[in-house]
Amino acid sequence: MSIQTAADNSVRETFLPYALPSIGEEEIVEVVDSLRSGWITTGPKVKRFELDFAEYVDSKHAIAVNSCTAGLHIALTALGIGPDDEVIVPTFTFCSTANVVVHLGARPVLVDVGQDFNVTPEAIEAAITPRTKAIVPVHYSGQACDLETIYALAARYNLPVVEDAAHAVGATYNGHKIGSDALPLSLLGRRGQGVRVITVFSFYAIKNMTTGEGGMITTADDALAEHMRLLTLHGMSRDAWKRYTSAGSWYYEVVLPGYKDNMTDIQAALGIHQLRRLDDFITTRQRYARLYDEAFADLQEVETPVVRSDRNHVYHLYVVRLEPDRLAIDRAQFIEALKAHNIGASVHFIPVHLHPFYQERFGYRRGDLPQAEIIYDRIVSLPLYPRMTEADVHDVIQAVRHIVTTNRR
């Protein structure tokens, strides 16, 4: 059967990339200011960015790092995860969520997800063993997981929660931002006091806000925060970065073997201004998501994302599921057809348990986590970012509708 791609009849003349960052004049001026100042690595702008971020999500501590991956690694290290330990991770995530567990010599216990693409509390509870040392939920695509039930499990089994909030900066659950210290208490009452939570965000180039590369760790826990801060910079005693200022001293002590995961002032210069623009970015993402939802509502071949009414979805990703029984083309051909219309698309994610390393090292096989597999086989991430114009969104809509209506089974 020939596939209808409309190659000679493309919706767009110019290519619409799958994603692009939105960098404004303020960010550029602030970066140039850092470059001219002579202070280009960790310094006053990182401090300011940390304080601004802590205030934005309502957390006592915010520790800037050079990626979310580094932040996840630091969080698990500070929790003492090591050989023979197990850490529960959804399989439907980017590889780094699981890779960091492997770096510590521990075993990532991969679990399945539900129809909203997020890990289910049932899957987490079924995976808990005496070796389990932490739960790592991922707020997939910018929509929070079922935190109330996950925190209740954490309280019952006395397990810390490390939230992978790479997609979820600005997202809320029960009226509180992801990363807010108020969340466990507001959800569980006094039982929430005992739940240790560390949240890690990503500021990778195409995330909802960016520092080029970068991340932020938040927590309410003073001791964990102190430990994690040391881990970000060689384990050197407090404020070692000041040692080249007039306020500093050449003397420092290494109190543990830390890493080199600190954020630079050049990155923070971007972050300070991106954070100020974040709420507007989110509003635009949500508006474009609504346009997609409405435009595809009558297409039985395309299922739009499941949105939970008790949480604020910030749409880092807009992921549709194709209905294979209703289409004469598969997912790869669908993405090729979008490309022929000059539109980029992507797939988030290949489940971790399908990657060769995880199959060889831990014995995972296709069939082990069926919901994530069914989802993976059908998903396409459409372009959704504030730098797109509304006309761009309508081009994507037109292209998707054309591909679907000309390739019906």
Nearer to ligand PLP, 121 or 215 (CB): 215
| Cα–Cα distance for residue pair 400/390, rounded to 1 Å | 15
- Tell me the residue type at 202: S
Q: Which of 59, 69, 210, 284 binds ligand PLP (CB under 6 A)?
A: 69
Per CB under 6 A, contacts with ligand PLP among 92-121 are: 93-94, 96-97
Neighbouring residues of 185: CB distance < 8 A, sequence distance ≥ 6:
192, 193
Nearer to ligand PLP, 97 or 199 (CB): 97
Catalytic, 207? Answer: yes
**Which alpha helices (DSSP H) does 174-245 contain, by range?**
182-188, 222-232
| Cα–Cα distance for residue pair 263/1, rounded to 1 Å | 53
Nearer to ligand PLP, 108 or 192 (CB): 108
Beta strands in 30-136 (DSSP E): 61-65, 86-90, 107-111, 132-135
What is the side-by-side strand order in the sheet with 311-312? Answer: 176-177, 172-173, 311-312
Which of 207, 242, 260, 339 is the catalytic position? Answer: 207
Residue given tokens 């304080």 in the structure block: 51
Q: Which of 31, 68, 89, 150 binds ligand PLP (CB under 6 A)?
A: 68
Does position 210 bind ligand PLP by CB under 6 A? no
Per CB under 6 A, contacts with ligand PLP among 219-258 are: none
- At CB < 8 A and 24+ separation, what contacts does 2-9 make? 3/328, 3/329, 3/333, 3/336, 3/337, 3/407, 4/337, 4/402, 4/403, 4/406, 4/407, 5/336, 5/337, 5/340, 5/341, 5/403, 6/337, 6/340, 6/341, 6/399, 6/402, 6/403, 6/406, 7/340
Nearer to ligand PLP, 30 or 163 (CB): 163
Q: Which of 54, 111, 119, 138 binds ligand PLP (CB under 6 A)?
A: 138
Q: Which stretch binds ligand PLP (CB under 6 A): 63-71, 173-181, 294-302, 388-396?
A: 63-71
Does position 218 bind ligand PLP by CB under 6 A? no
Q: At what angle do helices 95-103 and 68-78 cross, to 10 degrees?
A: 40
Q: Which of 215, 271, 383, 386 binds ligand PLP (CB under 6 A)?
A: 215
- Tell me the residue type at 47: K
CA geometry: angle 299, 302, 390, nearest 5 deg: 80
Q: Which of 120, 202, 210, 284 binds ligand PLP (CB under 6 A)?
A: 202
The CB-of-145 to ligand PLP minimum distance in angstroms stands at 12
Nearer to ligand PLP, 354 or 404 (CB): 354
The CB-of-111 to ligand PLP minimum distance in angstroms stands at 15
Nearer to ligand PLP, 67 or 208 (CB): 67
Does position 154 bind ligand PLP by CB under 6 A? no
Does position 199 bind ligand PLP by CB under 6 A? no
Return the active site residues: 207
Binding site for ligand PLP (CB under 6 A): 67-69, 93-94, 96-97, 138, 164, 166-167, 202, 204, 215
